[in-house]
């Protein structure tokens, strides 16, 4: 069957058409994206502007036209922290549904962590043993650990790369004291979760998902996307620390010259790297594997499981 998938993230809105069936890997047939950055369209209270909502609706309508031409039989739409945290979430969802017919499922942070864990488990397989998964988004950090397809423990923290950049980095390049304060804040937030997520046996494998980890791995020398999704990509804690030293001395334009860094994310790469460093260090992950599957695939896999 052909599924439509609408993934409304804090940075980007992705529209995909995938060929999917129970027991098989979802295969993309078409994809498009919109760099909407919903959080930047929010006021100081987090309310998302009418302009952003209208832009989102226009993109959804265009995506529906493409999906119909490609034979999509069902569309799954979900949103994460940018809409989850918006006071006008209900108004936004109501407008989208009234004008497009699409119902947006707003995921809780813990559900986001659980579904990302499911995707990573299916990708790395049972031979990985006890698994810990890190995912850095624009608005939040998801953590999950467990032996099965459902994690034993999962958590979501307000440590997204975009969110932290807006709150702590006010000049470009950032001041040393801003970096110091940001690092202190990140470590305090993650440290509060260590005991909860460290119960039981130590993980045999650590996995990083999301664009932030992929870009950090690319900067550290991992193969680029042209090598395909099946190439093993790793990121070491030492490598992240070295990247932070480089990013701290660069402005946003200079970061765009680094391998794998897109212009839209160059401004938040330092904050993302600081989150990665703290999470890896506090959970004793000297090296992590980069997983090409993340939340989006987890949503698809869970949907296929329920359909079966």
Q: Which of 28, 30, 31 is nearest to 13 (CA)?
A: 31
Contact by Cβ (8 Å): 102, 96:
yes
Q: Which of the pair, 45 or 27, is modelled with greater confidence? A: 27
Q: What letter would DSSP give residue 306?
A: H
The CATH superfamily assigned to 109-295 is Exopolyphosphatase. Domain 2 (3.30.420.150)
DSSP for 46-112, please give it. Answer: -PBPHHHHHHHHHHHHHHHHHHHHTT--EEEEEE-HHHHT-TTHHHHHHHHHHHH-PPPEE--HHHH
pLDDT attached to residue 37: 86
pLDDT of residue 244: 98
**pTM for this one?**
0.95
pLDDT greater at residue 168 or residue 10: 168
The pair of structure tokens assigned to 43 is: 């006021």
> Could you give the dihedral angle defined by the CA atoms of residues 135, 140, 145 and 149, in that order, rounded to the nearest 10 degrees?
-70
Fold entry, domain 2-106: Nucleotidyltransferase; domain 5 (3.30.420)
Owner of token pair 């664009």 = 211
Residue 193, C-beta contacts closer than 8 angstroms, at least 6 positions apart? 143, 155, 157
Q: Where are the domains of the chain?
A: 2-106, 109-295
| Spatial separation of the C-alpha atoms in residues 33 and 59, rounded to whole Å | 9
> How many residues appear in the chain?
308
Whether 2-106 shares its CATH topology with 109-295 is answered yes
| 40 has pLDDT over 80 | no
Average pLDDT, the chain: 95
- Which DSSP symbol is given to 36? -
- Diameter of the chain measured on Cα atoms: 54
Per-residue confidence band for 41, with pLDDT thresholds at 50, 70 and 90: confident
Q: Does residue 45 carry a pLDDT above 90?
A: no
pLDDT value of residue 44: 77
């Amino acid at each position: 069957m052909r599924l439509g998938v609408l993934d409304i993230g804090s940075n980007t809105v992705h529209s995909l058409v995938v060929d999917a069936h129970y027991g098989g890997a979802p295969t993309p047939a078409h994809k498009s994206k919109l760099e909407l950055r919903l959080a930047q369209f929010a006021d100081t209270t987090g309310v998302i502007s009418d302009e952003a909502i209208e832009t989102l609706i226009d993109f959804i309508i265009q995506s529906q036209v493409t999906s119909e031409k490609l034979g999509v039989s069902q569309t799954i739409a979900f949103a994460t922290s940018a809409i989850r945290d918006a006071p006008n979430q209900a108004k936004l969802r109501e407008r989208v549904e009234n004008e497009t017919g699409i119902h947006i499922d707003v995921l809780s942070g813990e559900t986001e962590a659980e579904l990302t864990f499911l995707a990573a488990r299916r990708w790395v397989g049972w031979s990985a043993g006890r698994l810990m998964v890190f995912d850095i988004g624009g608005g939040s950090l998801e953590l999950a650990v467990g032996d099965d397809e459902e994690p034993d423990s999962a958590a979501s923290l307000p440590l997204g790369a975009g969110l932290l950049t807006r709150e702590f980095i006010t000049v470009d390049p950032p001041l040393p004291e801003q970096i110091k304060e940001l690092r202190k804040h990140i470590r305090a937030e993650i440290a509060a979760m260590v005991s909860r997520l460290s119960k039981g046996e130590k993980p045999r494998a650590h996995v990083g998902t999301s664009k932030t980890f992929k870009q950090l791995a690319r900067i550290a020398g991992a193969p680029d996307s042209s090598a395909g999704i099946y190439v093993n990509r790793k990121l070491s804690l030492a490598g992240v620390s070295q990247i932070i030293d480089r990013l701290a001395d660069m402005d946003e334009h200079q970061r765009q010259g680094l391998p794998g860094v897109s212009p839209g994310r160059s401004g938040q790469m330092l904050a993302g790297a600081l989150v990665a460093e703290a999470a890896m260090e506090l959970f004793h992950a000297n090296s992590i594997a980069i997983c090409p599957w993340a939340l989006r695939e987890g949503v698809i896999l869970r949907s296929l499981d329920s359909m079966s």
